[in-house]
Amino acid sequence: MTQSVPDFGSLLRSAERSAVHLEMRDSYMDDPVFADWRDGLPVDRPEAYELPEEYQAWASLVRETVARGVVMRRARIVSEPVTDYIRWEHAITARHNVALGEQVRWLPRRLASDIALPGNDLWLIDDRMVLFHWFTGNGDWAGHEFNEDPATVKMVSASFEAVWERAIPHAQYSI
């Protein structure tokens, strides 16, 4: 069943056990930190670069969520050779995701060919609700949909777990 979409912070705060994120695009909307990285600024070094307020808000939300015992996992399916956007995401992941308590893995797209995948990026909360994200061909935000249909949740969960099993932990994935 499709429903109206709750505020994302409220959604993540409602998680009791798990919050998993599946990303399948090779680039997303432009980001000021991405632009700074392209310009050579040390965005991966906390002592040398202060992240914008929205990044700091995300960091607080993740820390709060993980502190409650929620396991946060993020899997990224990527084409190789990777795009500049993915190269940047990889560069900032240790600081922006792993250090906050998220577990992150990378799956080269060529290793995902026999996995049935949902059509869109998503968040799955407690194996009970899915928030699908839609993007344009250029990676700009296009919308989202909240879904609690048991069959959809089951498909998404199985998909994510198949990706997670094959994916390479962040510390071991080099680009």
The predicted model gives 112-131 an average pLDDT of 98
Asked if the model's pLDDT at residue 3 lies above 60, the reply is: no
* Architecture of the domain whose range is 2-172: 2-Layer Sandwich (3.30)
Residues 6+ apart with CB under 8 A from 41: 49
| Residue 163, both tokens | 């990706």
- Calpha distance 105→99 (Å, rounded): 14
Residue spans of the domains in the chain: they are 2-172
pLDDT digits 0-9 by tens, 30-64: 899 999 999 999 999 999 999 999 999 999 999 99
Q: What is the pTM of this model?
A: 0.94
- Calpha distance 81→108 (Å, rounded): 9
The predicted model gives 129-134 an average pLDDT of 96
- Calpha distance 100→110 (Å, rounded): 29
Confidence tier at 1 by pLDDT (50, 70, 90): very low
- 3-class secondary structure, 69: coil
Q: Tell me the torsion sign for CA atoms 168, 66, 41, 48.
A: negative
